[in-house]
Structure 1
Amino acid sequence: MTASAHSAWYVAQTQAQAETKACANLARQGFEVYLPRYPRTVRHARRVNIVRAPLFPSYIFVRIDLAAQRWRAINSTIGIKRLVGHEGTPAQIATDVIETLKQHEKADGFSSVISPASRFKTGDAVRILKGAFDSCCGIFQARTDSERVEILLDLLGRKVKVVAGAHMIEPA
């Protein structure tokens, strides 16, 4: 579908791991959709695979002309939970945000967005957001790869090195 002069980008929340299914169903209904992805390393049974993972899990972008398209149908589309908005009105996303994301994509469709682990440097104070060490604070040690980090925690009076997902930590 070509973008009309009155269309804008909106965010739709998808069901868990249903981003691709939601995109296909919305495209079938005539909506333009955008699902930015990045290369993610997956380890399983001594194998390492690189998969195209959503940059924003459970969210996709949809271009809608609110005046001309039946946009309320999006909320009942298979794979979609709801359009993100306030009091029944979808919240518009600035077009330059989408354009910036698209500009940072590589030719193979993988986004070249910086790894979450690159926000930290050795010695930074961090807090673990979830898992067995939820809410524990520690010291950032190093990145083990693009998705995992080493953190030094002070547990029971001694320093313990913990490896966690980079998405599971925030600055303390």
Structure 2
Amino acid sequence: MPGLYSERSQWYLLQCKPHQDDRAHVNLLQQNYVVFHPQLMSERVIRGRPQSVRESLFPGYLFIHLGGNDNWSPIRSTRGVSRIVEFNHGPATVSEDVIEHLRGRCEIPESQNNEPLKPGEQLNIVRGPLSSLEGVFLSSQGSERVVILLQFLNRDQTICVPLSDLERQHPSLQINN
């Protein structure tokens, strides 16, 4: 089986045992493997109260970075790991571009690092087709999108944009009269 594996380092897909993604992740890290476990923050009602929780983007799966010189055999016996996912009698590889895209998607936006956005708060659009425009926060739509009011084409427009495309206006940019 070692002959099937690539000599250069690549990302591969691992399937975990049911509800053991975190256990597999920790155990692989303890064995000095490079592992990526994409997770997102989401809002859940727990015991009647809304709370932010981290959830796996792909429940039951992890990505591992391996090369031809890495020891693959301990992976199968790692607690929490079920198997290396295979297609056409070889391990399933994942391109570096896909991993980088997932890393960017799973980063916590700056506006979530601090306090939640408040209605009426001024925001700058920093990515996407409307970048460099300014808007006013109206409401959240889930944990990743927000509704903002935008002055565009001489009209007030209500649009929904990804939270990751926005930044709060810095106090130094706001003009106080």
TM-score, reference length from structure 2 = 0.54
Aligned position for 1:24: 26
What is the rounded CA distance, in whole Å, between the counterparts of 1:33 and 1:72 in structure 2?
16
Deviation, structure 1 residue 91: 1.2
- The yes-or-no answer on 1:75 pairing with 2:43 is no
Task: Flag the 1:88–1:71 CA change in 2: closer, same or farther, 3 A.
Answer: farther
Amino acid at match of 1:60: L
Q: Where do 1:151-170 residues align within 5 Å?
A: none
Please state how far the C-alpha of 1:61 moved relative to its aligned partner.
0.4
Rg larger in structure: 2
1:98 aligned residue: 99
* C-alpha deviation, 1:89, in angstroms: 2.7
1:44 corresponding residue in structure 2: 46
Give the direction of change, closer, same or farther, for the CA distance of 1:85–1:12 in structure 2 (3 Å limit). same
Note closer, same or farther for the CA distance 1:70–1:87 as it changes in structure 2 (3 Å cut): farther
Runs ≥4 residues deviating over 6 A? none
RMSD (Å), alpha carbons? 2.5
Q: 1:88 Cα shift?
A: 5.4
Q: Which residue of 2 aligns with 1:7?
A: 9
Helix, strand or coil: the match of 1:104?
A: helix
Q: Tell me which residue corresponds to 1:165.
A: none
The amino acid that maps onto 2:39 is R
Query: What are structure 2's unaligned runs of at least 5 residues?
Result: 1-6, 110-140, 144-177
How far, CA to CA, are the matches of 2:20 and 2:49 in structure 1?
25
CA separation in 2, counterparts of 1:59 and 1:48? 27
Q: How far is the alpha carbon of 1:79 from its aligned partner?
A: 0.4
Letter of the 2:33 counterpart: F
Structure 1 gap ranges (5+): 109-143, 147-172
For residues 98 and 92 of structure 1, what CA distance do their matches in structure 2 show?
11
> Aligned-pair distance for 1:87?
6.1
> Which amino acid is 1:100 matched to?
H
Structure 2: distance between partners of 1:80 and 1:107: 27
> What amino acid sits opposite 2:22 in the alignment?
T
User: Could you tell me which amino acid in structure 2 is paired with residue 72 of structure 1?
Assistant: S
The Cα offsets for residues 97-139 of structure 1, whole Å up to 9 and x where unpaired, read as 001111223247xxxxxxxxxxxxxxxxxxxxxxxxxxxxxxx
Deviation at 1:39, TM superposition (A): 1.2
- Seq. identity, %: 31
After TM superposition, the score normalised by the length of structure 1 is 0.56
